[in-house]
Structure 1
Amino acid sequence: MNEGMLRGKTALITGSVQGIGLAIAKTLAAQGARIGVHGLANAEQADAAVAEIKAAGAPEARFFDADMRDPDAIDQMMSEMESWGGADILVNNAGIQKTGSMADLSRETWDMILAVNLSGAFHTMRRALPKMAERGYGRVVNIASVHGLVASKDKSPYVASKFGLVGMSRVAALEYASVGSRETGGVTVNCICPGWTETAIIEPQIVARGEQLGVGCTEAIADLLSEKQPSLRTSKPEEIGQAILWLANPIAHNITGISLPIDGGWTAQ
């Protein structure tokens, strides 16, 4: 892959002050992209993320604090992005999860998870994609989940949001498939579907499994993996970043509408 291949490009990564989002931001920064950093963070956390991303190679990095539950706040963020030059690459990574049975989960939980995981991505995409089309190059990568491809118990709003994200991404891929050219790189829309990945979002499940079995963190993780992920290995956030970097390459102009599992064989079963 060409060094510095994203020089002159700007990427907006939602939920990028920690975890997978921060790893993605640093990966794209290392290839010369300017980075729009986003997340719910205090000033100290935001400054630390921006500094880390600049240290990774970003010529510029700027923090945005839009609440992904609020369409007006997202519109404001996207307007600010356009004033900053616009997003050539949009990664919708912001996401939340709460587990529980359908009988136990509240309607407020349902509304919140769908708002962040699905509607928030719609509101960024509807603003970013027309501008990408004007330039003849654009990349939208939505971080879905294996739960955008298969279901699990006690995750109804999360699974619904991720299945919806996969479906919406396919629609957008079709709508923009003919934009641009091989030379410009085209406009593509894809999903990454991670399995068990080393992030904070899985910690409550690890704790719950440990309490259920009366074991420590390592044993709880091993039990979770044995249930779903045949590789018996978690993925690191940096590995998700590398997949997105590959999709951002202009050579990937004809790869659109896919949902790429990074799941150790989970969805192959």
Structure 2
Amino acid sequence: MTNLNGKTALITGSVQGIGLAIATEMAKAGARIAVHGIAGDAQIDAACKSLCNAGAPQAKFFGADMQYPDQIADLMRGVTNWGGADILVNNAGIQHVEPIESMPTNKWDAILAINLSAAFHTMQHAMPIMAERGYGRVVNISSVHGLIASPEKAPYTAAKFGLIGLSKVGALEYAQSGSRESGGVTVNCICPGWTETEIIEPQIAARSQMLGVDRQGAISDLLSEKQPSRRTNTPQEIGALAVWLCSTAAHNITGTSIPMDGGWTSQ
């Protein structure tokens, strides 16, 4: 098991869903967790308590709307004053599905800001400090749509492709920071395919009703269109990969985009 004792991990969008699962896996490995998201007090308190119960020595919430660089700067200053992020996971993201011809300009702007520009701003603040310490990990949560396209997802696909490009540049610029012993500074992307989240539950339910099959049968049929394994990821599996990328054994894995897609992008 990767030991993250003494490390601080900032995971954006970590009050729920995939972000909270990644934060939980980091907590199990012993990291302090800087929690981020847009949520009410009860949800924030529940997330922080669950992370401490999972093994985090501390969990503290930092708020920011990731559309706005000034709020991101305040977020990163707050985390720096708390000890600084040894690990940065850019997970926060939004989606809107619509054809290019009718895609609202404000949706394009918001998706690019939150899914791509926000990662640039957090990396710009965090990575010089990582380089000084000789250890740092940036894990950017991209998507299969950072590797291939689908109709009606122009801003999301553009942002996720851009995130992979940004990650490659960051990896090159910091490749010589640190050492094998200290762990070095790396930047990598995880590119999930179909993942078990609340977002896909309506699609599963609709497919189950349409075909008259159980939930697993509905998942298999739904995924047959894209994901050859016909198995979803769990958020916890994405978290486990993120944790492993933070190990010192992964010091030479940088600039990569790792699909978790059951063979989708191999077709």
TM-score, normalization by structure 2: 0.95
Corresponding residue for residue 141 of structure 1:
139
1:170 to 155, 168, 180: 168
For residue 95 of structure 1, what is the aligned residue in structure 2?
Answer: 93
1:36 is matched with 34
In 1, Cα distance between the equivalents of 2:127 and 2:212? 47
What corresponds to 1:180 in structure 2?
178
1:73-120 CA-partner distances (Å, limit 9, x unpaired): 100000000000000000000011111111121011100111100011
- 1:141-160 counterparts in 2 under 5 A? 141-160=139-158
Q: How far apart are the structure 2 equivalents of 1:211 and 1:101?
A: 27
Secondary structure, counterpart of 1:227 in structure 2: coil
CA contact (8 A) 2:219 2:231 kept: no
Are residues 204 and 121 of structure 1, via their aligned partners in 2, closer, same or farther at CA, if it must alter by over 3 Å? farther
Which residue of the partner structure matches residue 223 of structure 1?
A: 221
The secondary structure found in structure 1 opposite 2:4 is coil
**Post-superposition offset of 1:222:** 3.5
3-state secondary structure, aligned to 2:14: coil
Q: Could you list the runs of 5+ residues in structure 1 that have no partner in the other structure?
A: none
Query: What does residue 120 of structure 1 align with?
Result: 118
**CA 1:106–1:36 in 2, change beyond 3 Å: closer, same or farther?**
same
Is the contact made by 1:78 and 1:124 (CA closer than 8 Å) also made in structure 2?
A: yes
Contact in 1 for aligned 2:190/2:257 (Cα 8 Å) = yes
**Contact kept? 2:207, 2:222, Cα under 8 Å:** no
**Which secondary structure does the structure 2 equivalent of 1:179 belong to?**
coil
Aligned to 2:79: 81
Which runs of 5 or more residues in structure 2 are unaligned?
none
Q: Which residue of 2 aligns with 1:55?
A: 53
CA–CA separation in structure 2 for the residues paired with 1:109 and 1:214: 34
1:210 CA drift (Å): 4.5
- Identify the match of residue 263 of structure 2 among 228, 253, 265: 265
In the TM superposition, 1:188-199 aligns within 5 A as: 188-199=186-197
SS in 2 for 1:47: helix
**Equivalent of residue 109 in structure 1, options 94, 102, 107:** 107
Runs (4+) off by over 2 Å? 200-207, 209-224
CA drift at 1:226: 0.8
Query: What is the distance in 1 between the residues matched to 2:58 and 2:259?
Result: 31
Deviation at 1:199? 1.5
| CA RMSD between the two structures | 1.8
Count of aligned positions: 266
Q: How far apart are residue 214 of structure 1 and its match?
A: 7.9
1:202 partnered with 2:208: no
Per mean C-alpha deviation after superposition, the further-off stretch among 96-105 and 117-126 is 96-105
Between 1:103-112 and 1:76-85, the stretch displaced more is 103-112
User: Any idea what the Cα deviations from partners look like across 1:180-201, whole Å, max 9, x if unmatched?
Assistant: 1001000000000000001234
One-letter amino acid of the counterpart of residue 31, structure 2: A
Q: Provide closer, same or farther for how the CA distance between residues 173 and 204 of structure 1 changes in structure 2, counting only shifts above 3 A.
A: farther
Q: CA deviation at 1:223?
A: 3.4
Query: CA separation in 2, counterparts of 1:110 and 1:204?
Result: 24
Distance 1:183 1:141, change over 3 A: same
Residue matched to 1:250: 248
